[in-house]
Amino acid sequence: PDSLAPGTDPFELASSAAAAIAERTGVDRHDVALVLGSGWGGAAGLLGETTHTLQAADIPGFSSPAVAGHVGTILSVLTPAGRRVLVLGARTHFYEGRGVRAVAHGVRTAAAAGCSVLVLTNGCGGLNPDWPAGTPVLIRDHINLTAASPLEGATFVDLTDLYSQRLRAIAREVDPTLDEGVYAQFTGPHYETPAEVQYAKRIGADLVGMSTALEAIAARHAGLEVLGVSLVTNLGAGISPVPLSHAEVIEAGQAAGPRISRLLADIVGR
């Protein structure tokens, strides 16, 4: 069944997606999954040898991307250390209105494909003036402002250390200058008002985005160890005098591309 409609079991769909990936790549088990957010597109090429490129729309439960800057492919990459990375370039955002099952499908597919680690990357707004556009920031924790959960029913899941200290320590070995922050997921698709940015700041957020938190919760439930890395692509509304634009977002991501791609490749290579 290639549908996330009510009635289909999302975990069965993830298993069939993982089976389709294994069949099409000949790779029975992947080790690390990587979700590429805005600005992170260049990372895949530096991870190792891309042995297979699949169209996401050909894999059960995935659809073609709705956001410019997100490619609609799923890659299988072999790292120099012999690790298999599943690169999910087809993220579904909560604001697409396809439901939380669609948002969590990639993560569940990664777990069903055998992955034990998930690296979630995103582009986001920064609330710290010390972080100009192009700054990568490790996610230390999140605030889920979507009023939703990817989990259904009495699925009580502990979220302490959701963003693995072990993986953050590895990231800091690779780049000791990396800062950390709390990421708040808004529903979007609109950007925050200046008042909402100040609200986010007051409740303890350093980064504002429209992804990641729901995926991380689904990842913990699926038993994956999570590393989250944000790319500050703009300062949150009201923090900087000029208005936001998606063009600015893509441009800042591209400028930071080489550095963050190298960073991600070195972290995954550990």
Q: Which of 140, 153, 143 lies closest to 101 in space, CA to CA?
A: 153
Q: Does 192 bind ligand 8IG (CB under 6 A)?
A: yes
Do the Cβ atoms of 181 and 230 come closer than 8 Å?
yes
Asked if 132 touches ligand 8IG (CB under 6 A), the answer is no
**Interface pick for ligand 8IG out of 249, 263, 264, 265 (rule CB under 6 A):** 249
Structure tokens at 157: 């899941």
Catalytic residue among 49, 152, 180, 192: 192
User: Could you give the CA distance from residue 137 to residue 70 in angstroms, rounded to a whole number?
Assistant: 20
Member of 65, 134, 209, 228 binding ligand 8IG (CB under 6 A) = 209
Binder among 41, 123, 134, 150 for ligand 8IG (CB under 6 A): 123
Determine if 210 is a binding residue for ligand 8IG (CB under 6 A): yes
Count the residues of the shown chain that bind ligand 8IG, applying the rule CB under 6 A: 16
Q: Does 186 bind ligand 8IG (CB under 6 A)?
A: yes
Find tokens 């055998």 and name the residue: 114
Of 14, 35, 208, 216, the one binding ligand 8IG (CB under 6 A) is 208
| Residues 259/214, Cβ–Cβ less than 8 Å | no
Angle in degrees, CA 163, 218, 161, rounded to 5: 20
**What's phi and psi for 202, nearest 5 deg?**
-65, -30
Is 23 a residue of the active site?
no
Three-class secondary structure of residue 150 per DSSP: coil
Fill in the per-residue mask, 37 to 76: x = in contact with ligand 8IG (CB under 6 A), - = not in contact. -x--------------------------------------
Which positions are catalytic?
Answer: 192
